[in-house]
Structure 1
Amino acid sequence: MREYVILSIETHLFFARIMKEHSLFLLASLPEKETDLKRRAECFRKGFEGGLKKTVRLADGMVGNAILDSGEIVTEFTQKAECQTSRLTGISVDTEITEAEKCLQSGCPSGVSRETVYQVRMLNREMLECLNGLIAYKEEILQKVLSCKLYTTNYPLLIEHILREARLYRQFIMQLERNGCIAMTDLRNTEAFWNQIMMEHAEFIRGLLDPTECELIQSANGFAMDYCELLEAMKEQEARNGNACHAKSVQLTEEFQKFKSAGTQGITDCDIRSVILPLLADHVLREANHYLRLLEQANNGSNRCGMCK
C-alpha cells in the first residue's frame, strides 16, 4: 500500500492544483449574466482547493525530491501570480496552501499506517467525484460555446485542452484505485499527449499576447510549429517502431520551459503586454516542469509516475 499512498499524494499535488486553476479560469472567463455556470465553477474551485489542502497535510515527508524540486508543485512565481490574479479578478485564492507546499519536506517512508491508507482512499474518492462533475461541466461549456449559446473569453480549443487534462487525471485515479499504482507503460503515448499540450500552450500564448509583442509572438509561433513537426515525426516513427524523437522532446521542452519562465516573470512584473492572467502563465510553466520530470524519469529507466526519487 506504500506505492498506492505515495503515488496518490504525488498525483493530487500536481493535478488538484491544475483543476483548481482550471475552475478559476472558467469562472473568470464567463459573463456576469451566467450566474449558474459561475456558481458551479466556484463550487469546483473550492472542491479542488479543499482536496489540495488535504493532500498537502498528507504530503510532508511522503514524497521525493524529484517531485518537490521539479517546479511542478509550485514555482518561484506562484504565490505572486495568485495574489495578482485574485486582485485582478476578485476571485479568492488561498495562498496559504502555496506557502505550505513551499515548506514540504521530502521523504521516502518504508511503510504507511492503516489510517493514512484510509485517508488517501477517501481523498481519491473525493477527487474522483469532483473530477466527474468538472469533466461534465467542461463538456457542457464546450457544447454551448460550439453551438453559439455561450460567450466566454476562452478559446474553444482551450476548453478541449483542459478537458483532456482532466480526463488524464481521472484515468490516473482510477488506475490507483483499481491496481494500486500508475504504470507508465508507453513512453510514446505520454510524449504524444504532453507534446500536444505544449504545442497548444504555444498557440494560446501566441494568441493572448498583445500584437505589439512581435518578438514574443514570433517565438511562441516557432514553438507551436516545432511541436507540430515533432508530433508528425512521432507518427512516422511509430510506423517504423522507433523512438528517435525522445531526445527532441527533451530538447524542445527544455527550451520552451525557459521561454515560459521568462514570460511568467515578465507578466508578473507587468513588463509584457498581454491578456494572460498571471496565474495562467505560472500554470503552463508548472505543466512544462511536470513534463520535463516525466522525461527525466524515462531517461533514468523508470516506468512509474513518481515514487521517492
Structure 2
Amino acid sequence: MKDYAVMSLDLHLFFARIMKEHSLFLEAGFQAKDTCFIKKAASFREQFEKILEEAVQMANGFVSASVLESGEIVTEFTRPAECKTELLTGIPINSRITEKEMCLTPAFRVSGNRQKYRIVSWLNQRALSLVEQLIAFKEEILENVSVCRLFTANYPLLIKHILREAKLYRTFLKELVMKGTISDQCIYDTEKFWNQIMMEHALFIRGLLDPSEEELIAAANGFAQDYKKLLCHARTQNCRTMDEMTQKALKETEKYRDFKAAGTKGITECKISSIILPLLADHVLREANHYLRILEQEDYKAGGRCGTM
C-alpha cells in the first residue's frame, strides 16, 4: 500500500490548488456590490493557499514520482499564468508556492514516520473541514444564481462543475481520515466523472472565446462532442468491458491536453482573444494532465472494482 503521507500529499498538491483557484475564479466573477460573497471567496482562497503551502513544505521526498512528472501540480505555464492573472484581477497570488513545487523531489523508499503521519493527519482533517465549508458556499452561490438573486460572470454549469470536483476531494479526504487510505475506484465511475469534466471544459472554452476565434471555437466544440459520445457509449459498458473505452478516452485526452497547452500559451501571451483568465486556462490543462495520469497508471489499467464515486 502506498505510504499514508505520500497518498495524502499527492492528493493535496493537486486538489488544494484546484480549490484555491476555484475560490479565485469565484471571487473574480462577483459584482462589486456583492462584497459579502467576494470576501468569503477571498477567505477560502487564502485558506486553501495555506493548506497547499503546508503540503508543499512537507512534500519534498514524500510525493509520488508519477504525480510530479504528470504536469498536474504545475506546468511550464503556471507561474506566468499566475503573474498575468494577478495583474489582470488585482487578486494576490503566492507564486513562491509554485516555485517551490517545481523543485520537489519524489518519494524514495519511504518508511513509516510517526511525526510526519501526525502532521499529515492533522492537515487532512483541516482540509476536510475546509472543503465541507467550501461546498456549502458553492451550493449557496448556485441557489442564489438559480433564482436570480445573484449575478456572477461564471456560468451556472461552471459552479455545478466546481462543486462536483470539491465533493470528489471531500470523498477522498473522508477515506483518508476514516480509513487511512483511498480505495480503488471503478473504471466506469472514474472515466464517467472525468469525461464529463473534460466535456464541460470544452463547453466553457467554447463559450468564453471571443466570437472572432472561429477555428478555436469549432475545435472546442469538437472536443465537447467527442467526450459526449464517450459518455453515451460508456452507458453500455461495465467494469469488465471498459478496456476499449479507456483507450479511446486516453487518445482523446492526449489530443485535448495538447489543445489546452497551446491555448494556455496563447492566452497567457495575449495571442488569443477571449475572456478566459490565464490561470483558468492552466487550471484546465492541469486537470487534463491529472486525468491522463489516472488513465496511464498500471494499477488502473489492471481494472478497479465496481462501485460509486
The share of aligned pairs that are identical, in percent, is 53
**Map of 1:135 onto structure 2:** 135
Rounded to whole Å, the distance in 2 between the matches of 1:32 and 1:24 is 15
Letter in 2 for 1:290: H
Residue by residue over 1:149-173, the C-alpha shift from the partner in whole angstroms, topping out at 9 and shown as x without a partner, is 0000000000000000000000000
**Map of 1:95 onto structure 2:** 95
Residue by residue over 1:2-21, the C-alpha shift from the partner in whole angstroms, topping out at 9 and shown as x without a partner, is 62211101000000000000
Is 1:301 the counterpart of 2:302 in the alignment? yes
Q: Secondary structure at the match of 2:272?
A: coil
Rounded to whole Å, the distance in 1 between the matches of 2:240 and 2:73 is 34
Is 1:192 the counterpart of 2:211 in the alignment? no
Matches for 1:108-187 after TM superposition, within 5 Å: 108-187=108-187
**Map of 1:307 onto structure 2:** none
The Cα of 1:108 is off from its aligned counterpart by: 2.6
**Map of 2:27 onto structure 1:** 27
The Cα of 1:107 is off from its aligned counterpart by: 1.9
Letter in 1 for 2:302: G
**Map of 1:218 onto structure 2:** 218
Rounded to whole Å, the distance in 2 between the matches of 1:34 and 1:196 is 31
More moved, 122-131 vs 275-284: 122-131
The Cα of 1:26 is off from its aligned counterpart by: 0.2
Residue by residue over 1:51-105, the C-alpha shift from the partner in whole angstroms, topping out at 9 and shown as x without a partner, is 0000001100111221101000000000000000001000000000000000001
Letter in 1 for 2:142: L
User: Could you tell me the TM-score, scaled by structure 2's length?
Assistant: 0.95
Q: Which has the higher contact order (CA 8 A, sep 6+)?
A: 1
Q: Name stretches of at least 5 consecutive residues in structure 1 with no aligned partner.
A: 305-309
Rounded to whole Å, the distance in 2 between the matches of 1:149 and 1:246 is 42
Residue by residue over 1:156-210, the C-alpha shift from the partner in whole angstroms, topping out at 9 and shown as x without a partner, is 0000000000000000000111221112230110010000000000000000000
**Map of 1:17 onto structure 2:** 17
Matches for 1:23-102 after TM superposition, within 5 Å: 23-102=23-102
Contact residue 64 and residue 106 of structure 1 kept, 8 A: yes
Q: How many residues align?
A: 303
The Cα of 1:302 is off from its aligned counterpart by: 7.5
Letter in 2 for 1:257: R
Rounded to whole Å, the distance in 2 between the matches of 1:18 and 1:50 is 13
Q: Secondary structure at the match of 1:69?
A: helix
Residue by residue over 1:107-150, the C-alpha shift from the partner in whole angstroms, topping out at 9 and shown as x without a partner, is 23431321101100110011111101100000000000000000
Is 1:242 the counterpart of 2:235 in the alignment? no
Contact residue 71 and residue 286 of structure 1 kept, 8 A: yes
**Map of 1:277 onto structure 2:** 277
More moved, 294-303 vs 224-233: 294-303
**Map of 1:263 onto structure 2:** 263
Rounded to whole Å, the distance in 2 between the matches of 1:220 and 1:173 is 33
Letter in 1 for 2:100: A
**Map of 2:203 onto structure 1:** 203
Rounded to whole Å, the distance in 1 between the matches of 2:240 and 2:203 is 29
Letter in 1 for 2:252: L
Rounded to whole Å, the distance in 1 between the matches of 2:252 and 2:84 is 30
Contact residue 6 and residue 107 of structure 2 kept, 8 A: no
